[in-house]
Chains A and B, each alone.
Chain A
Amino acid sequence: MSGLVATLKGICSEREGRLGLAFTCLILVFALAGPLVSPDPNVIDVKARFAAPGLAHLLGTDNLGRDLLARTSAGTRYALTLAVMIVVISSVIGSLIGIVAGIAGGWVDRAVTAVFDIVNAFPPLILAFALIALYGKGSATFVLLVTVVFIPQFGRMARARAQTLRNLSFIEAERMLAVHPVTIVVRHYLPNVAGPIIVLASMNLPVVIAFEASLSFLGFGVQPPKSSLGTLIKDGFISINQSWWPTVASALVLAIATLGATLLGEALRRVIDPKTAGVR
């Protein structure tokens, strides 16, 4: 608990950190509180189409008269859920594969590194199109895609840390006591690999949010009537001559979400892993 408090204090010690934390909290509250203050995001009210922000619709309405506050909130919730899910799955799988490769060395290590290289050789967007062609559009394809793209990033970092740890006295001391290898990995490797992995995970959150928005913008992400920040921007963009408000509202939310997560990730890196952060 004291570690959490110390981390928060460290994040708040600089302006960027405070800003990142504030933006992130704002976006979280926006995503979670949306359904409480706003009507159903899919209710169509053609009479109220392209309504300007007002008391009835705080962020106005879109081309079908749907409430934009409700739709951006739902889109944000969707993006955050996907981002957290993907980052958690890929960091856990990546760390375990990386640690095993780092400890085992030899052909296991070479094989894992080769697979990582192959995955990284594909530009994510091309890989996305290939997976969409194979499995169709949808959240599941997106989760699979980004998880596969991220695993090597986490894997490489965990592997490098594990290689360093492997030769440290405390790991050798554990081995000399014949402590079970699984216990050694869980109790002595994982906590010592966790710092940089958490930092990388937090830096990857905005990447997922932006990537999801871009795929949805291109029409490969979430399908209507569900809302995503990318589809909201695209729909607003199509009807920008009638109303500029939908585009600005959803783009602003996307900007605050990615900026907040990026600044928070940077601040977290400064606190947890000062060596890799910029010189201060």
Chain B
Amino acid sequence: MTDAISISQAQLRFGETAALDGVSLAIPNGSCFGIVGESGSGKTTLMRAVLGLQKLDRGEIRILGKPLLHGRAALKERAGFIQPIFQDPAASLSPRSRIRTLMDEVGTVLREPLAATHERLHVILNRLGLPPGVVDKYPHEISGGQARRVAIARALLMKPSILIADEPTAGLDVSVQGDLLNLLQDIRRSQHITLVIISHNLAIVRLIAENAAVMRAGKVVEAGEVGSLFGSPQDAYTRELLAAWPSVSAAK
């Protein structure tokens, strides 16, 4: 079976800093995959490279078996099966457009009649627990939690088969964090989406992901099934990270 995302020997330097230093990863189709690491470890750069927002110096990325290309035609094709949820979802909604306009844009891209887009949107909003009236608001008129759901709704409207969420729970209070993770998990299972969670928070990756990779200084230091990765970490850095998270150790 083809992997949803396969990365081989990805290298990228920003001046003297190696943002990605020979990263190789395979993310199985339909799975939930976590990428963990501290700030500056290269997680977000890797995500941006996978989305085609950042060109690699060397190495190859394949999405559903096809090599990642740049340019508008490639971007258009890719938009149909891979969508991001950015770290700051409020900032990922155009500030001077109503949410309805942002949603309608997706319909235009998909060349779908607006009525059909609205119908699908209605179902998605319902699913995400958003009131239908939210579409008449501007991004600054809704709460942070709602903005995140709106960003997810917009990504789902694109009918992607891969969803990449960068710090999906950042800035949310603990109860909302749990709800959101459950929601993402539900959506993933019911729609057979490959979900990639990028987070510095080991607890949420452990909770939701099946496989995970630990990154440090642009390298993958350890990757594998979540149970064994966090249960008996092989790499010293992983052990260090785990030790820094008392809640994770206590949950063992």
Residues of A in contact with B (beta carbons under 8 Å apart): 168-181, 183, 187-188, 191-192
Contact = CB atoms under 8 A, between A and B. Distances in A.
Nearest to B53: A172
B109 interface: yes
Nearest to B88: A169
A175 B75 contact: yes
Given A169-B91, A170-B91, A177 B86 contact: no
Contact of A169 (B76, B86, B97, B105): B86
B178 to A, nearest CB: 25
Contact of B79 (A169, A170, A177, A187): A177
A178 B75 contact: yes
A169 B109 contact: no
Given A178-B109, A192-B95, A169 B158 contact: no
A175 B86 CA distance: 13
B93 interface: yes
A170 B99 CA distance: 12
Interface in B71-92: 72, 75-76, 78-80, 83-84, 86-88, 91-92
Contact of B97 (A176, A178, A187): A187
B51 interface: yes
A172 B164 CA distance: 14
Contacts, number: 67
B53 A176 contact: yes
A187 B101 contact: yes
Interface in B178-228: none
A175 B97 CA distance: 16
B106 interface: yes
Contacts of A168: 91
B76 A178 contact: yes
A173 B75 contact: no
A170 B105 contact: no
B84 A173 contact: yes
B39 interface: no
Contacts of A177: 79, 83, 105-106, 109, 154, 158
Interface residues of B, number: 28
A183 B105 CA distance: 9
Q: Which 4 A-B pairs have the closest CB atoms?
A: A178-B79, A169-B92, A191-B96, A178-B76
Contacts of A183: 105, 108
A176 B87 CA distance: 15
Consensus secondary structure, chain A interface: helix
B75 A187 contact: no
Nearest to A192: B96
Interface string B52-79: 0100000000000000000010011011
A52 B12 CA distance: 80
Contacts of B109: 177-180
Contact of A173 (B80, B93, B108): B93
B247 interface: no
A176 B105 contact: no
A197 to B, nearest CB: 14
A170 B150 CA distance: 13
B93 A170 contact: yes
B249 interface: no
Contacts of B95: 170, 192
A190 B96 CA distance: 10
Contacts of B86: 169, 172-173
A187 B84 contact: no
Contacts of B94: 170-171, 173-174, 187-188, 192
B106 to A, nearest CB: 6
A173 B91 CA distance: 10
A176 to B, nearest CB: 6
A176 B101 contact: no
Given A175-B75, A178-B75, A180-B108, 10 more contacts: A169-B88, A170-B91, A172-B86, A176-B53, A177-B158, A178-B76, A187-B94, A187-B97, A187-B105, A191-B96
A176 B91 contact: no
Contact of B87 (A169, A174, A181, A192): A169
Nearest to A172: B53
Contacts of A191: 96-97
A174 B105 contact: yes
Contacts of A187: 94, 97, 101, 105
A18 B202 CA distance: 57
Contact of A176 (B51, B93, B108): B51
A191 B96 CA distance: 7
A173 B95 CA distance: 12
A171 B151 CA distance: 13
22 contacts: A170-B91, A170-B94, A172-B84, A173-B86, A173-B94, A174-B94, A174-B105, A175-B75, A176-B53, A176-B79, A177-B83, A177-B105, A177-B106, A178-B72, A178-B76, A180-B109, A181-B72, A183-B108, A187-B94, A188-B96, A192-B95, A192-B96
